Structure 1
């Protein structure tokens, strides 16, 4: 019973963060599964997290798509390149020792958290469109960045939202709300690729996955409502979350070493 409650609470927290700041829940999933839920195998935690994150991202994508905040062509190119990288990353991650994988994951969390604290620079392009005219400029940016993000997402079993969002902004200069909505297409695609690889390897705890998804649905709904109420303080929320990511990443890395 304690494990069931811990899993539901973990799923709720993941969904809450996703609803509040448009991503980031997946980077907390693996540490929560290992240290709170008590899954002994880091590989099983990664596989289980990948399935749950994919379902939660798909649910969140529906709302963003209805609001018109998804650049579908950019998402398709980024996701295709990312899926190739994710397949390679997932296979590589399964071959790495579990403790070493957790240590590397902790270091990644620290790096992502620090990058979130840095101010965003560069002019935005409000109406980004991938057309014949813009393809020569956008494709050489979208494809390699998508490959790199997919490789990291597959290796660590994360949806990669906080890697994908800055990657899309870097590649296209689209405004942040559009990058968040577009990223959910990529998160879903990469998560599905990673989840399939781990599921085939028998590294998914389906009972825990179902509980995570159930908690995540409730948490996402609460996060979206809270996000609307705290819309004027979203920057503060993002900075607070970044500091939490750095702190948890430091704990994971130190305990793994």
Structure 2
């Protein structure tokens, strides 16, 4: 691998980590277009598989920080994650069977949807004490399990973390506050990302050298992103809106580029 490709991969990882540190999520959806158009990965499936590993690593790192703060409802998150793993495994197999160009076009449409959802202000639930105990399991599991399965399938198909769907899914199923939903979602994202990465890896669609380079750049980017977040914390919504607009623009650019090919 030539030095320019290594630099591009580390720069892409730094940008993804910076966005994750700055706005607290969503940066992983930039991984696939960065790998294809900036790093030069020719296979859409290879880009998705490699990105899925980065998604799992980033989420696992974020999970430890939220666990220390007590922002995870473990019972609900584990139940959601188990259902999501099944969905992700099936979704990944389906995604690998789709033509690369068509998959990239669908990914671009997804980016536009994610960007619009990011611009829209998120609201949390009203039950900060929600638990998955004996008295609540019958009520919550029928909501958690199908939602987790559906979100997992969607995430596995595209090789993304799916936090933009997991967070509202957890809130709608359990009414937990948004801060707790974000923390709990990281457990689900780690599980979904690992499942998708394993599926793609078994089919030879993960470039492990790129994974290492993305991770190395991501560590630096995440530190810089958190520093920037502290300085720009008063502009939280403005940052989310700006990021959402960027994701929409990239999605539109991909559609235009692929339509011209």
Q: What's the TM-score once normalised by structure 1's chain length? A: 0.95
C-alpha contact (below 8 Å) 1:105/1:253 kept by paired residues: no
5+ residue gaps, structure 2: none
C-alpha contact (below 8 Å) 2:125/2:171 kept by paired residues: no
Shift of 1:71: 1.2
C-alpha contact (below 8 Å) 1:159/1:190 kept by paired residues: yes
> Higher mean Cα deviation, 140-149 or 196-205?
140-149
1:176-203 CA deviation, whole Å, 9 max, x = no partner?
A: 2111111110110000000000111011
Output the aligned Cα RMSD: 1.4
C-alpha contact (below 8 Å) 1:75/1:182 kept by paired residues: yes
The aligned runs of 1:78-227 (5 Å cut-off) are 78-121=80-123, 123-227=125-229
| Paired position in structure 2 for 1:71 | 73
Matches of 1:170 and 1:19 in 2, distance apart? Answer: 26
Matches of 2:36 and 2:138 in 1, distance apart? Answer: 44
Asked if 1:53 is matched to 2:55, the reply is yes
| Paired position in structure 1 for 2:251 | 249
Matches of 2:33 and 2:102 in 1, distance apart? Answer: 14
> Higher mean Cα deviation, 235-244 or 161-170?
161-170
Change in CA separation of 1:100 and 1:3 when aligned onto 2, cut-off 3 Å: same
C-alpha contact (below 8 Å) 1:149/1:164 kept by paired residues: yes
| Paired position in structure 1 for 2:233 | 231
Shift of 1:256: 2.5
Matches of 2:16 and 2:117 in 1, distance apart? Answer: 20
Q: What's the TM-score once normalised by structure 2's chain length? A: 0.94
C-alpha contact (below 8 Å) 1:100/1:256 kept by paired residues: no
Change in CA separation of 1:123 and 1:202 when aligned onto 2, cut-off 3 Å: closer
Size of the aligned set, in residue pairs, is 257
Matches of 1:140 and 1:154 in 2, distance apart? Answer: 22
5+ residue gaps, structure 1: none
> Higher mean Cα deviation, 228-237 or 11-20?
228-237
Shift of 1:55: 1.2
